[in-house]
Amino acid sequence: MNIYVGNISWQLTEEDLTTSFAEYGAVDSAKIITDRETGRSKGFGFVEMSNDSEAEKAIEGLNGKELDGRAMKVNESKPREDRPRRPRY
């Protein structure tokens, strides 16, 4: 299951994210989304867990939990919607 993790601290690392979710089961991957130009975190990321029941427990246990001073928003990831391309000026 792919899990969306929002409202995370800009200083949080992918290792920190993995450690938090590993308390609930095996973590396949953790990715923090960064700005292309600055390399700075955008404040959200995704965690992939192969066992759905462990993923559900992680969502229940971590949604609203404070990590590095911020209350995380954790839920099942939804498919990305196609957005119209922005014109480049």
Domain residue extents for the chain: 2-76
Q: What is the pLDDT of residue 43?
A: 95
Average pLDDT, the chain: 93
Q: What is the pLDDT of residue 65?
A: 95
CB contact at 8 A, 38 and 80 = no
- For the stretch 2-13, pLDDT in tens is 999 999 999 999
The interaxial angle of helices 14-22 and 52-62, nearest 10 deg, is 110
- For the stretch 54-89, pLDDT in tens is 999 999 999 999 988 999 999 999 887 777 788 877
Q: Which CATH homologous superfamily contains domain 2-76?
A: RRM (RNA recognition motif) domain (3.30.70.330)
Q: Tell me phi and psi for residue 54, to 5 degrees.
A: -65, -40
Q: How many CB atoms lie within 10 A of CB 53?
A: 11
User: How many Å apart are CA 46 and CA 66, to the nearest integer?
Assistant: 17
> What is the arithmetic mean of pLDDT over 14-40?
95
